[in-house]
Amino acid sequence: MVEFAGYDMPVWYTGIMEEHLAVRNHAGIFDVSHMGRIAVKGSEAGRFTDALVPTRSSSQPIGKSFYTLLLNANGGIIDDLIIIKRAEDDYLFVVNAANRAKDADHMARLSAQYEVVLDDMTDRTTMIAIQGPEAFQALQGLTVQNLSEIKRYNHVMSKVGASMATITRTGYTGEDGFEIILYDSGIENNSIALSVWNELANRAKPCGLGSRDSLRVEAGLPLYGSDIDDTTNPIEADLAWVVSKEKTGYVGSDAIAGHLGTQPQKLRRGIILEDKIPRHGFNVSNEVGEKIGQVTSGTFSPILKKGIALAYVNAPYAQVGQAVRIVIRDAPVAGKIVKPPFYDEKAYGLKRTATAPAPATP
Amino acid sequence: MSDQYRVPDDLVYTREHEWAKTLEGVERIGITDYAAKTLNDVVYVSLPSIGQHLEQLASFGTVESIKAVSELYSPLSGIVSKVNTELGNHPELVNKSPYEEGWIIEIKPSKIEEERKKLLDSKQYREFLSSLGK
């Protein structure tokens, strides 16, 4: 067990490799209750969220779950998050555990000007991610909701086990799957959540923080604090797709307009190495040994059986296929720039063409 | 708690969780069952070259899991006479068999008599694991 943002969490249950492969090939479950869940409610909830994020928010249909960012006035990233639009006057923010207090402060400061209330639901709810090509089958037995009716980045309110729940088709592994928020069971009364977890554990492999990290790196997904922070902007972080080009008037919008109008100096990219394992903080160099970037996340890819990295590289070196080196213990190791995900998308991940067995109807 | 890890009696140990075993004229070196289990799935072992001189308790390479990098410290000074090349394709041998097939290097020791005093026998290493709460 390790301490993570104030929670005791397992790095693995049976082994990182085993858990990683279970998610890619079958299904795994993650207790993600540590993630912050802050509801924004009130007649001006839509307008308020529009002022907070660079993505269209109030014009999204009810039932949408979308990935977006909280930005500071310089266009730096305060946090990355999922917003679950539960009603026109009710948006649920799912934020990083380590940023929960910072996000709540940022939101509270702006909320004074709007008819909204903020409700931090983290401690009285439970959140579990069910991920992998067989996530459907694992979760379907616990709910009357026909899961095949929920499209990617959408959610429904239904019952899971004995609890009312939001079931959202999202995740942090690159695989298809669901995240469920159980409303009737939290830290104080965890018995319903435990029974849901135990039921799921009969159908899918419990996974710890270790495989959660190796899976998200393999999928190319950024981790706040490692790959993005208050000083990185969405364009250099390869998250420009989150920014609505037409939108103005949100915190950071002027700075973002400036960033969009200029070439970024550096860009977040993937690097595959021919040998060894890159780690956070290692330097990226060109073929004559000049420093051209830095690794922000590095791991061994259980699918590729190679070292992989997420790194910021100077713009001239950011082309896919560009040969680069990562310096490991003073020795440069050859690699090349790729656009993640690192795995073959025909064989792995949510776009895989090898179809999983049809989900059982409830 | 220390009962869950294998600590063979015929080896000597470091506090950094390496072991050394006396063979004919050479010392075979690896990491302990405790180290292998704590690292979890070993996916890469960086090995020294044959002929390289190692100092006692100085780093001679790394053993890496998906998540972590751990330094390897030589229990004894000496010259590397053999490396376990099997680990290149099968680093998992370190987990499966830390004291047998998962050995890492062999060295010709240069100061074994005086240096042995700085190492732990199996009883002392077991006590050391217990003192770590393991």
Closest by Cβ to A17, choosing from B41, B64, B69:
B41
- A157: closest CA among A181, A173, A175? A181
Determine what percent of chain B is predicted with pLDDT higher than 90: 92
pLDDT score of A362 more than 50: no
> Residue B61's closest chain A neighbor by CA?
A329
Helix/strand/coil (H, E, C) string of chain B? CHHHCCCCCCCEECCCCEEEEECCCCEEEEECHHHHHHHCCEEEEECCCCCCEECCCCEEEEEEECCCEEEEECCCCEEEEEECCHHHHCCCHHHHCCCCCCCCEEEEECCHHHHHHHCECHHHHHHHHHHCCC
pLDDT in tens, B23-33: 999 999 999 99
What is the dihedral angle through the alpha carbons of A13, A17, A23, A28, rounded to the nearest 10 degrees? 0
pLDDT score of A332 more than 80: yes
Interface membership of A17 toward B (CB under 8 Å): yes
Interface membership of A11 toward B (CB under 8 Å): yes
Are the C-beta atoms of A315 and A271 separated by less than 8 Å? no
Query: Cα B93 vs. chain centroid, distance in angstroms?
Result: 13
pLDDT in tens, A107-133: 999 999 999 999 999 999 999 999 999
**Number of neighbouring beta carbons within 10 Å of residue A361:** 8
pLDDT in tens, A35-55: 999 999 999 999 999 999 999
Mean pLDDT taken over chain A: 96
Q: Does B44 contact A277 at a Cβ distance shorter than 8 Å? A: yes
What's the rounded mean pLDDT across residues B49-63? 96
Q: Which of A14, A16, A213, A297 to mutate to probe the B interface, most B CBs <10 Å?
A: A16
Interface membership of B43 toward A (CB under 8 Å): yes
Q: Which residues contact B39 (CB under 8 A, 6 or more apart)?
A: B31, B63, B65, B68, B70, B95
In Å, how far is A100's CA from the nearest CA of chain B?
25
pLDDT in tens, A263-273: 999 999 999 99
Q: Does A12 contact B46 at a Cβ distance shorter than 8 Å? A: no
Cβ–Cβ pairs < 8 A, chains A and B:
42
A64: left (phi over 0), alpha (psi -120 to 50) or beta: beta
pLDDT score of A354 more than 80: no
In Å, how far is A194's CA from the nearest CA of chain B?
27
> H helices within chain A, ranges in order?
16-25, 45-52, 100-111, 135-140, 191-201, 209-219, 253-260
What's the rounded mean pLDDT across residues A61-75? 98
Beta strand B27-31 with B18-22: parallel, antiparallel or unpaired?
A: antiparallel
CA distance to A130, A171, A308, A343, B27, per residue, from A304 (Å): 23, 21, 9, 7, 35
pLDDT in tens, B60-115: 999 999 988 999 999 999 999 999 999 999 999 999 999 999 999 999 999 999 99
Backbone Cα Rg of chain A: 20
3-state SS class at A335: strand
Q: Does A277 contact B40 at a Cβ distance shorter than 8 Å? A: no
pLDDT score of B1 more than 80: no
- B107: closest CA among B32, B61, B58, B50? B50
Q: What is the pTM of this model?
A: 0.93
Which residues does chain A have within 8 Å of residue B40's beta carbon, measured at their own beta carbons?
Answer: 11-12, 15-17, 210
